[in-house]
């Protein structure tokens, strides 16, 4: 799944998927995954042995978390930025003049996960923002530079970028 979106820009070798929370004392919500350090922490009830065989909705969630792995591996301060939650909405607005780096870290997660389930799974019902279910050409425009070179740091979110 990672290669389809990130090519060689994401190294899957060091990535581990944990079936437990990251935060001590049960502070992680039971329906929340976190990826603060290049590792993915799914609550045990939501971890899957193979997300490639999971439902489109679970694949969407996994892809969203893989975006944070990609951000982390390219040097984005995922843990620090996640702790400072200002301007970190998950919603995004697609527009032809925008590029991936224009979106905040959480909006990037949903944008790329929506693109993945639409383009590669043909599953618009798994999208978070279903209003873009017929907008594959617009996704292609917004993501054209990223898809050409997903390893370029220009695609990482700016600190003050918004959805």
Catalytic residue among 13, 65, 106, 131: 65
> How buried is residue 43: exposed, middle or buried, by Cβ count under 10 Å (0-12/13-18/19+)?
middle
8 Å CB contact between 110 and 92: yes
8 Å CB contact between 155 and 100: yes
Helix, strand or coil, per DSSP, at residue 19: strand
Which pairs count as long-range contacts for 42-50, CB under 8 Å and 24+ apart, including other chains? 42/17, 42/18, 43/19, 44/19, 44/20, 47/17, 47/18, 47/19
**Residues 6 or more apart whose Cβ sits within 8 Å of residue 104:** 87, 88, 89, 157, 161, 162, 163
Does the annotation mark 131 as catalytic? no
Residues recognised as catalytic: 65
């Amino acid at each position: 799944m990672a290669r389809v979106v990130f090519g060689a820009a994401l190294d899957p070798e060091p990535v581990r998927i944990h079936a437990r929370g990251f935060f001590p004392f049960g502070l992680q919500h039971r329906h929340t995954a976190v990826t603060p350090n290049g590792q993915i922490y799914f609550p045990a009830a939501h971890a899957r042995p193979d997300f490639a065989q999971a439902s489109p909705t679970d694949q969407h969630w996994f892809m969203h978390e893989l975006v944070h792995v990609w951000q982390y591996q390219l040097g984005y301060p995922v843990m620090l930025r996640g702790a400072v939650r200002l301007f970190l909405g998950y919603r995004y607005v697609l527009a032809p003049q925008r590029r991936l780096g224009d979106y905040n870290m959480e909006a990037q997660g949903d944008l790329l996960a929506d693109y993945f389930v639409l383009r590669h799974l043909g599953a618009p019902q798994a999208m978070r923002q279903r209003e873009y279910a017929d907008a594959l050409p617009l996704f292609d425009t917004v993501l054209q530079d990223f898809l050409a070179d997903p390893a370029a740091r220009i695609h990482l979110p700016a600190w003050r970028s918004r959805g």
